[in-house]
A = this chain, B = another copy of it.
Amino acid sequence: MRNKKRTTIYDIAKKLNIAASSVSRALNNSNHVNEATKKLIIKTAAELNYKRNTLASNLRKGQSKTIGVVVPFINQNFFSNVIAGIEEASYQKGYNLIICQSNELQSKEIKCVNTLINQHVDCIVISISADSSDHRHLQNVLDNGIQLIQFDRVADELETLKVINDNEQASLEAVSHLIEQGYKRIALLEGPQNLQIFRQRKAGYLHALRKYGIPVLEELIVENAWTKELGAEGTQKLLDLAEPPDAIFASTSDFSALGVLEVATAMGIKVPAELGICGYSNEAFTEITSPSITTIDQFSVYMGKTVANLYFQEMDNKDDTEVVPKIISIKPKLIVRSSTKRNG
């Protein structure tokens, strides 16, 4: 690409024989410029195909009108939906998005965060990676005076703005639903317990059992089953037990629920009659498996919008007071489908 020189406000100023400051003011629609000159300047700017250099503007103004987003994977349904939501809300406010993926690696996450700090983004939105253990890099964001918003997977001890799902409540409802459908031995496929969301989902499961006076059986709880393959593996073990479960709550994702369904189908076990299955996330495919899978919708696009709007709202009263760590909890919705419908 040829490095054609771009038109600057100085070019416009020179052509009209006025000061650059007037040009700047006109283009910012300040009312400290004569209406006639303002119009002339705007017209000339258009003629010369002027484009404001946002870099220079941001440097001078000390802000970037940019939000940085860090997620484990851009191309996972939940995250791409959240990003779409953030984009929609941000676009309306004239903000841009810089997107990074951490690939579930703390090391890359740290680099991404640092890049965003260097870029002088106004806000960093993050859902931490699975192997995230310490959070100095996030503290660093705050120390640099950048707003930090965590969503979904949050580091609890960090006092920041947070947008989360009420995972425990959702799991409680899901497992309660299973119990009410008459399932008695309910297994849990759980995710990495260093992530709060998975701890909460387990808590919801335990809560439901307690509520209905059902004993907790360790043998029915399978660790680290958060892919389709691991879900299938765990299911195999569960169904090989002397007393196998009659329902499985795949709390990690719909993918592991899909693994459950495939194993059950392969073994000739009838769903939902002999085995109830509940997933998590409301992936598109849960509607079209046979039977369709009961799952939990997280309102992911809405979550993204909420994150962005939370930021804009905080901006509006930034001078007022210290930032109060605020947590917005979105209640996910249980979507009952065929895989758990035994009665009715």
Contacts and interface: CB of A to CB of B under 8 A. Distances in A.
Interface of A: 1-4, 6, 49, 51-56, 58-59, 62, 64, 66, 73-75, 77, 80-81, 83-84, 87-88, 91, 96-101, 108, 114-115, 117-120, 140, 142-147, 258, 284-285, 288-290, 301, 318, 323
A273 B316 CA distance: 62
A5 to B, nearest CB: 8
Nearest to A114: B51
Contact of A1 (B83, B147, B301): B147
The 6 closest A-B pairs by CB, nearest first: A285-B285, A75-B84, A75-B80, A4-B145, A80-B80, A54-B118
A117 B51 contact: yes
A6 B142 CA distance: 12
Given A54-B119, A75-B81, A258-B288, 19 more contacts: A1-B142, A1-B323, A4-B145, A6-B144, A49-B140, A51-B117, A51-B144, A52-B118, A54-B118, A55-B119, A56-B59, A73-B84, A75-B77, A91-B100, A98-B98, A284-B285, A288-B289, A289-B289, A290-B290
A290 B323 CA distance: 52
22 contacts: A3-B145, A4-B145, A6-B145, A49-B143, A49-B144, A51-B118, A51-B144, A53-B118, A54-B119, A55-B58, A55-B119, A74-B87, A75-B301, A80-B80, A84-B101, A87-B101, A97-B99, A98-B98, A98-B99, A99-B99, A284-B285, A290-B290
Contacts of A108: 91
B91 A84 contact: no
Q: How many copies are assembled?
A: 2
A108 B88 CA distance: 11
Contact of A120 (B53, B74, B100, B290): B53
A49 B83 CA distance: 30
Contacts of A98: 66, 96-99
Contact of A83 (B51, B75, B301, B323): B75
